Amino acid sequence: MPFSAESNEIYQESLAMHAKHKGKLGIRSKVPLKTKHDLSIAYTPGVAEVSREIVKDKNLAYEYTLKANTIAIVTDGSAVLGLGNIGGYAAIPVMEGKAILFKKFAGVDAFPICFESYETDFVDKVRNIAPVFGGINLEDIAAPKCFEVEDALQDIGIPVMHDDQHGTAVVVLAALLNSCKVTGRKYSDLNIVICGAGAAGYAITRMLKCIGYNPDVCTRVNEIIVCDTQGTIFRGREGLYKNKYKFIIAEETNKPALAGSLADAIQGADVLIGVSAPGIITEEMVRSMNRDAIVFAMANPVPEIWPDAAKHAGAAVVGTGRSDFPNQINNVLAFPGIFRGALDTRATRITDEMKIAAAHAIAGCVPKPHRERILPNILDKSVTKAVAEAVAQAAVRCGCSRPHN
């Protein structure tokens, strides 16, 4: 299926729009500045009293400043979309786009913070900008650094989430829950192959196998085999000690310790989840799966296998990351509502319970799923509301919300 002719027109139109508006974001004042009195209460001398109150209790920043509804979108530009390590400058338009999605779908004010290169003190830099924000969305940071950065920032008192990991995992879980309804499968019986062991693949694996998750809130699938560019990941594979995250995958998945290629792993699987590279799944591979297979080919803009080819090979449910096919598996179904719910409860972090609640809320927005509709439309704002409410309730239940008026 050709893509370049269609995309070239879109690319040129996008360049023209960005040049016309000089980007997509701006700052506007919430209060008037028409008189000296306006200036006196918005700035000096009146603002001094606000600062004095916050000195007494820093939590009052949520009451008196933009902190209550503002997040930072932080990147080092090392893994931007399908473009790779393009740096902070080139990442700006992508982060601006993420910011307007936050505003459009959740009413959240978001601002891009783009570092030009990954440095050893990156975590400290992010930690030190935290006071002004109610949450931090880590974005487009390459694995394994993204795991290390997210882990190191969990103690800063505001939610920090790497969306490429957890937003993707949440939507995949929602899609799987409804795909099981469509194909008559039991979720806990699923045998899954995940193609791609980067940020998304790692997070999907952890969520679906409940690795590190509270078993009281997380249901495991039966088995997962994860494949990277070298084939299956299994206990004892040479070189795994160099990457502790792949080592974790090896210890927690692929119980038969299958060594082989992606094609070997796919045989007899119920589900294939691709978060890797274009065109690497063949019809023959899909035919080797179990009857009425579920295929999520999420590489963008060109998926691992085109939907028509997957269906021709026998797949019952097919999803991609693209908006021009049914069953778009897109993070925008998750991250606006997750952060909206976290901000509304002034959560200190985003927990397992909150992520799983988000997935079930998304799945619940399609009460009667079918092969061509396992997920809600990404433009449906009611999804954000449902996710935010579910996340807020989970935040209260797990004790990570702050009391406020």
Q: What is the pLDDT of residue 405?
A: 66
135 phi and psi angles, rounded to 5 deg: -170, 165
181 has catalytic annotation: no
Catalytic residue among 43, 58, 125, 255: 43
pTM: 0.93
Q: What is the pLDDT of residue 2?
A: 44
Question: 226 Cβ partners below 8 Å, 6+ apart?
Answer: 193, 194, 197, 201, 205, 232, 233, 249, 253, 254
Q: What is the pLDDT of residue 1?
A: 43
Q: Say how far apart CA 336 and CA 327 lie, in whole Å.
A: 19
Query: In the chain, which segments carry CATH 3.40.50.10380?
Result: 4-30+65-158
Question: 266 Cβ partners below 8 Å, 6+ apart?
Answer: 193, 272, 281, 285, 286, 288, 289
Mean pLDDT, contiguous 10-residue spans, the chain (405 residues): 62 93 92 95 95 96 96 94 89 96 96 81 91 97 92 96 96 98 98 96 97 92 97 92 90 95 98 96 98 96 95 98 94 97 97 97 98 96 97 96 80
Question: Are 261 and 247 spatial neighbours (Cβ–Cβ below 8 Å)?
Answer: no
Domain 163-405 CATH (choose: 3.40.50.300, 1.20.1250.20, 3.40.50.720, 3.40.50.2300): 3.40.50.720
Structure tokens at 185: 């499968």
Q: In 3D, which of 168, 191, 188, 187 has the Cα closest to residue 179?
A: 187
145 has catalytic annotation: no
Q: Per residue in 327-350, pLDDT tens? A: 999 999 999 999 999 999 999 999
Q: In 3D, which of 134, 197, 122 has the Cα closest to residue 165?
A: 197
Q: In 3D, which of 386, 31, 392, 330 has the Cα closest to residue 168?
A: 330
- In CATH, the architecture of 4-30+65-158 is 3-Layer(aba) Sandwich (3.40)
Query: In the chain, which segments carry CATH 3.40.50.720?
Result: 163-405
Catalytic residue among 98, 209, 246, 355: 98
